[in-house]
Structure 1
Amino acid sequence: MSLLLDVSSVFFTISFLIYCVAFIMYGVAIMGRVWRNRDPIVHTKKWGKAAFLLASIGLIAHLTYFITRWIGSGHIPISNMFEFMTSLSMMIMIAFTIIFLIYRKTLLGLFAVPLVIIIMAYAAVFPQEAQPLIPSLQSWWLQVHVTMAALGESFFAIGFAAGFMYLLRTVDFNSQDKRERRQQRGVEFTFFTIIILVGFIIAIFAFRAGGYESVFSQKEVANNGEVSTTMQKVEYKLPPIVSPYQSEIVSFQSFLGMDAPLFEAPSWMHGINAGRKLNTVVWSLLAGIILYGLIRLILRKPIGRAVHPLLKSLDADDLDEITYRSIAIGFPIFTLGALIFAMMWAQIAWGRFWGWDPKEVWALITWLFYSAYLHLRLSRGWQGRKSAWLAVLGFIVVMFTLVGVNLIIAGLHSYAGTD
């Protein structure tokens, strides 16, 4: 079994590298068409086909990882954050493949493939050891509930990519009109939020490669307010700008002349890992701001304005249609997986269909959001920018449901291990 797990890790790495090369090829297909006065249509088709073929090979390697991980661990690989995020990225590639085969839009790969790469890199932040399932997860309902929910969310991701492309295509980045400037700021902020996640991934891997570690001890506070004599150790893999509340330094690795944390986590942030989580948020913002600043320095213009010319040849109506179709496909799948099958499983596992667990609440919020999207689209005629912005905001809700609830809000669904 351990051999299969090693094989799965190899195929995960292979698929990641292939996706990276496919992304570069998609970039050549779109941006390289102006080189040497080549026929842009012929050039895009040639490189686009090669990029799609390579991405498909990457998907086969990704599926091989999924299957070998399943057999090697003895359960479907969706039980912790590493497994779930790697499986989600695989689902997004499947959804992209389906939508691409329908619409044949090469540029969609330039936005969907890097989304897969980012999620895979984010997954690698978490512990990768295969662990036995806790009792409440030892059910075949886990397979139908989580996989269908993830597949629905994957189509939402493609809807996000197409909707964001629509905004980049239609927003006038040279206009000084007040309304257009709001649109420009919205697009730029969307880029910034993506860059924050990328910055966090870069920061955590950079410090991990350098072997950074600082350790604090923190007194555990009982529910009645009395201080327990139990001391809990909290390990930091990022330099501790924020220390745990009322903690003592066990070991501190100096960074850029910083020999102690700059400030302490506030008292209202409960939990032994609250300070570390706040420290991670601070580092994500810092890394994102630095990375965004470097990109702006290189481009010497807003990112949206730099990307906008690449999409001029696209039909905005096609992008709007892809956005709607992706969400329309994903919605019933998500409804079955995240609500109906989830409630059935909850009844079997916990003896109730609904319990106001944070993950359940945010799954319902996600469902209501996309219900509103489809209602406004079909009944009120919300198309174009309104539809695109809803697709972008909807996927932000999805990502908070997947990441924020698991890592920040404690609940019955907080199975994820963190490093």
Structure 2
Amino acid sequence: MTSSSFLLIGFIVYNLAFLMFVIAILGRKWAQDNPIEHTRKWGNYAIGATIIGLAGHAGFFFTRWYEAGHIPTSNMYEFMTFLGMMIIVAFIVVYFIYRAPVLGVFAVPIGIIIIGYASVFPKDVQPLIPALQSYWLKIHVTTAAFGEAFFAVGFAAGLMYLLRCVNFDSKEKGDRKEQRGVEVTIFSLVMIIAFVISIFGFNASGYHARFANDVLYTGKDGVEQTIKQNVDYVLPPIFKPFEGEQVEMKPFLGMTEAPFEAPSWMKGSNAGRKLNTVVWSIAGGLILYGLLRLIARKPLGAAISPLLKGIDLEDIDEISYRAIAIGYPIFTLGALIFAMIWAAEAWGRFWGWDPKEVWALIVFLYYAAYLHLRFSKGWQGKRSAWLAVIGFMVVMFTLVGVNLVIAGLHSYSGA
């Protein structure tokens, strides 16, 4: 069995586990005789399915490792699938501490979305570039991802808290601001889902476009030369590369050439494709969000909120805080300390203000502020939940946005 088969099995079982968690929570309405027993029983089924899915996911990880000959965390496809696995592991750890099936309704989908997002990247096994040929690849990336996974669980619990306690019926200025904040968070998740759906849809239809760029290349002998480099698009090109030459393009809705060109200040041969990805993500998110709003006939936060009336706010607040408290030292070790040691070995310096390094530092400082405000200032409840939600948005920008928007030493990751 190939690694991709194991991943597919894990992905399917995760989705089944999510449905079981939903039944555990929503099914209480129909189990009026003993709703607590209903939740406990289906919660056990769901966590069992989650563990089975994790076993399939682990099968993918180790099989891919055997196929590649190195730990599969060296590009965006491998790293995001690993992050999805770590999110599930972090959720299972927190679940067995608190036994809260409602957390699975929000945490498991985060892992599913991350795995789905990973699947849009090239899946070919790639040889390691020289900078990655180090045992620090195993140490740095795995610990950083595990810390981020606990941040994801903290985010899920924080979002649950806000959906439960924000007053979606109020017209007061403060309440309206909170309602918009929750809706923007939900839209961000919808945008990722829409992007994944778009990629799979165009892949299934066989869509393809290709452009060629002149790229200045410096050889080992120091001699500069200009070479042609192809840039392949899976999504229809709204933006072509700056000064890019169209090689081939399958028509889409009558569009036979890209209507716009990426601005000149966006550096790199993949800049046009990255901008195209951002635009498609936003457009797809708006369309899917609009359809969901039509179905719900109200803001999505207001539609979800009534389903969470039975949850204990203090428990959810505690879960969010504990998850972040566990993840913070792990992230600090992986993303900062181990990263700096590896950077000294690979590039001869501990710190170089590379965009990914800067944003890792921002994440570290952000969660340091979160823990300080929680400990010293008594920021609990709603304020703590907002910090947990915003913090994971910063994490996701560090993982995805930096690769899509900013070029740097970590651009090898394939975004």
What interval of TM-score do these two structures reach, taking the shorter chain for normalisation? over 0.9
CA distance in 1, matches of 2:54, 2:121: 22
Instruction: Tell me the CA shift for residue 276 of structure 1.
Output: 1.4
Q: Match for 1:397: what amino acid?
A: V
Contact kept in structure 1, 2:356 and 2:398, CA below 8 Å = yes
Change in Cα spacing, 1:53 to 1:236, as seen in structure 2 (3 Å) is: same
Matches within 5 A, 1:158-173: 158-173=153-168
Q: Match for 1:336: what amino acid?
A: L
Which of residues 332, 336, 361 in structure 1 aligns to 2:333? 336
Contact kept in structure 2, 1:219 and 1:230, CA below 8 Å = yes
SS, match of residue 334 in structure 2:
helix
Which of residues 157, 166, 182 in structure 2 aligns to 1:187? 182
Q: How many residues align?
A: 410
**Does the alignment pair 1:264 with 2:261?**
yes
User: Corresponding residue for 2:222?
Assistant: none
Deviation per CA, 1:321-367: give whole Å up to 9, x if none.
11111111111111111111111122222222111111111111110
**Does the alignment pair 1:364 with 2:332?**
no
Moved more, 307-316 or 344-353: 344-353
Change in Cα spacing, 1:133 to 1:248, as seen in structure 2 (3 Å) is: closer
Unmatched segments (≥5 aa) in structure 1: 1-5
CA distance in 1, matches of 2:131, 2:198: 35
Which of residues 27, 33, 38 in structure 2 aligns to 1:32? 27
User: Corresponding residue for 1:317?
Assistant: 314
User: Corresponding residue for 2:402?
Assistant: 405
Contact kept in structure 2, 1:217 and 1:232, CA below 8 Å = yes
CA distance in 1, matches of 2:33, 2:155: 31
Q: Match for 2:308: what amino acid?
A: L
Matches within 5 A, 1:17-416: 17-35=12-30, 37=32, 39-220=34-215, 230-416=227-413
TM-score of the aligned structures, taking structure 2 as reference length = 0.94
Instruction: Tell me the CA shift for residue 105 of structure 1.
Output: 0.7
Contact kept in structure 2, 1:171 and 1:184, CA below 8 Å = yes
CA distance in 2, matches of 1:330, 1:381: 20
CA distance in 2, matches of 1:12, 1:26: 21
Instruction: Tell me the CA shift for residue 220 of structure 1.
Output: 4.2
Change in Cα spacing, 1:412 to 1:217, as seen in structure 2 (3 Å) is: closer
CA distance in 2, matches of 1:346, 1:216: 34
TM-score of the aligned structures, taking structure 1 as reference length = 0.93
Change in Cα spacing, 1:66 to 1:222, as seen in structure 2 (3 Å) is: closer
Contact kept in structure 1, 2:275 and 2:405, CA below 8 Å = no
Instruction: Tell me the CA shift for residue 32 of structure 1.
Output: 2.5
Superposed CA RMSD in Å reads 1.9
Identity of aligned residues (%): 61
Moved more, 42-51 or 389-398: 42-51
User: Corresponding residue for 1:3?
Assistant: none
SS, match of residue 192 in structure 1:
helix
Contact kept in structure 2, 1:91 and 1:150, CA below 8 Å = yes
Instruction: Tell me the CA shift for residue 18 of structure 1.
Output: 0.3
Instruction: Tell me the CA shift for residue 386 of structure 1.
Output: 1.1
Instruction: Tell me the CA shift for residue 42 of structure 1.
Output: 2.4
CA distance in 1, matches of 2:255, 2:112: 33
Instruction: Tell me the CA shift for residue 250 of structure 1.
Output: 2.4
Which of residues 7, 12, 23 in structure 2 aligns to 1:12? 7
Q: Match for 2:184: what amino acid?
A: F
Q: Match for 1:298: what amino acid?
A: I
CA distance in 2, matches of 1:45, 1:372: 36
CA distance in 1, matches of 2:138, 2:12: 28
CA distance in 2, matches of 1:216, 1:66: 34
Change in Cα spacing, 1:338 to 1:218, as seen in structure 2 (3 Å) is: closer
SS, match of residue 415 in structure 1:
helix
Q: Match for 2:247: what amino acid?
A: V
Change in Cα spacing, 1:325 to 1:36, as seen in structure 2 (3 Å) is: closer
